[in-house]
Structure 1
Amino acid sequence: MASSANSLIDSIKSSLTKLAPLEAVLFDIDGTLCDSDPLHYYAFREMLLEIGFNGGVPITEEFFIDTVAGKHNDDIALALFPDDLQRGLKFVDDKEALFRKLAAEQVKPLNGLDKVRKWIEDRGLKRAAVTNAPRANAELMVSLLGLSDFFQAVIIGGECEHAKPHPDPYLKGLEALKASKDHTFVFEDSVSGIKAGVAAGMPVVGLATRNPEHLLMEAKPAFLIKDYADPKLWAALEELDKAGAH
């Protein structure tokens, strides 16, 4: 058992070294910079309850993960209101307004985010936020987290030809930073986001903030971490630094 555990640690450590010298890091926002999914879940659950969705039975966290988490609002609207897309689009707009109100009072950075931010800044790396959230949400979250000056670009899935899980938003992020996919990696917390990063040709460090680890692993991240203080992440970044120094 020990040898297989050691080989797993070695593969995690070396999973990012091929990117040396590192040029850029791309971040999703919801669930990646902050644990905002509970606020989204609460907003959806309360508003769907008000309109008697699902016979007046509150949606479960499983339903939220399957139908909503990481997906683009147009797809969510269609899933919730398959017979009335206009009503669905209005509903998700109203839900986002409630979410922004909740977020303004409750959003906090994920554990260790300051440490990874400093690591990136100290190395002068390029960085962008890449999200399926509407621009109003994305900019609010980045601002609430004190990252407005940190990100050099904020890419919105709905402003690309296709949102995640398509690679377009991540490819647009690379383009905005003038960075190469061969020297960039991604932080993501959802299945659709990990799939998008992998499809764009980059290693993805998956954050197991809320979504089940077995589902995240099916999307093929380089490895999973609990948060930015996870020793697995720092072991991999240390190896990457060493590889870049040669």
Structure 2
Amino acid sequence: MINTIFFDLDGVIVDSEPIHAKAKRIILDSHSIQYPDSIFDDFIGQPDEVFFKHIYENLDKQKNPYQSLLQEKNEQFFELIPEMKLVEGFTAFINEVRNRNIKTALVSSTSTYTFGLIDKHFYLADLFDLLITEKDTERHKPFPDPYIKALQTLPASVDNTIVIEDSPNGIKSAKEAGCKVFALTTSFRTEKLMEATEIFNSYDEIAEKVLF
């Protein structure tokens, strides 16, 4: 019996990964920083601070302070938020989950600042019994700490909890916390998500498994 569902944010609730990547690309290009095209996928599920520290340490020959690049990215992201959409099927799914008194938590490595921007646009916070963001753990995905924190705080049992994720980093985090993971193919192809407990192409498919 599933009585708790943990949701990642990017790629699970909001289709934000293309927006994050676009904002990062604009900032890197504006500073003439060379990067491989795969770099944005490589850091899906990890905080932006980790991304820009990597840029500073490995790719930025000018050694711009990573904090300043992060601030520029946040400003660019804010400008792009109107382009963002909710993941198809999320609203109907979360409403049905709440109607059935299933406990919910948002478990993300995004910053409180970024979540605040998204929440102002989509009013998400009230949909969850618990919010876990970057500030709540010292280590972030792919480490298990965010999901362990959610399990302990809510509290919830791994036996009655599923996690909905969309990235290899998120799947690794949830699995190492002992959770069953349902992967959505919103951000990666199926072959990249094989470590998940099960893989789904839509919320309709998850609903058939969990709610009916």
The answer to whether the superposition gives a TM-score over 0.5 is yes
AA matched with 2:8: D
Q: State how far apart, in whole Å, the 2-side matches of 1:97 and 1:69 are.
A: 19
Structure 2 unaligned blocks of 5 or more: none
C-alpha offsets along residues 3-22 of structure 1, whole Å, 9 cap, x if unaligned?
Answer: xxxxxxxxxxxxxxxxx1x2
Alignment of 1:108-187 (within 5 A): 108-187=85-164
2:23 maps to which of 34, 43, 53: 43
1:234 maps to which of 197, 207, 210: 207
User: Secondary structure at 2:57's aligned position in 1?
Assistant: coil
Shift in Å, 1:181? 1.7
Aligned residue in 1 for 2:170: 193
Contact 1:131–1:138 (CA under 8 A) maintained in structure 2: no
Q: 1:81 to 1:161 in 2, by over 3 A?
A: same
User: Secondary structure at 1:166's aligned position in 2?
Assistant: coil
Shift in Å, 1:155? 0.6
Q: State how far apart, in whole Å, the 2-side matches of 1:44 and 1:208 are.
A: 22
1:107 maps to which of 76, 84, 100: 84
User: Secondary structure at 1:128's aligned position in 2?
Assistant: strand
Aligned residue in 2 for 1:77: 52
Q: Which has the higher helix share?
A: 1
Structure 1 unaligned blocks of 5 or more: 1-19, 242-246
Shift in Å, 1:148? 2.2
Q: State how far apart, in whole Å, the 2-side matches of 1:159 and 1:234 are.
A: 29
Q: State how far apart, in whole Å, the 2-side matches of 1:173 and 1:162 are.
A: 13
C-alpha offsets along residues 45-73 of structure 1, whole Å, 9 cap, x if unaligned?
Answer: 1111110111xxx752x23112x321222
Alignment of 1:190-229 (within 5 A): 190-217=167-194, 220-229=195-204
Range with bigger deviation, 173-182 or 83-92: 83-92
AA matched with 1:184: T
Report the TM-score when normalising by structure 2.
Answer: 0.90
User: Secondary structure at 1:108's aligned position in 2?
Assistant: coil
Report the TM-score when normalising by structure 1.
Answer: 0.78
Contact 1:130–1:157 (CA under 8 A) maintained in structure 2: no
Larger Cα-atom Rg: 1
Larger relative contact order, structure 1 or 2 (CA cutoff 8 Å, min sep 6): 1
Q: State how far apart, in whole Å, the 1-side matches of 2:30 and 2:208 are.
A: 48
Contact 2:125–2:131 (CA under 8 A) maintained in structure 1: no
RMSD of aligned residue pairs (Cα, Å):
2.0
Q: State how far apart, in whole Å, the 2-side matches of 1:170 and 1:98 are.
A: 29
Runs of 4+ in 1 over 4 A off after TM superposition: 83-86
User: Secondary structure at 1:81's aligned position in 2?
Assistant: helix
Q: 1:178 to 1:199 in 2, by over 3 A?
A: same
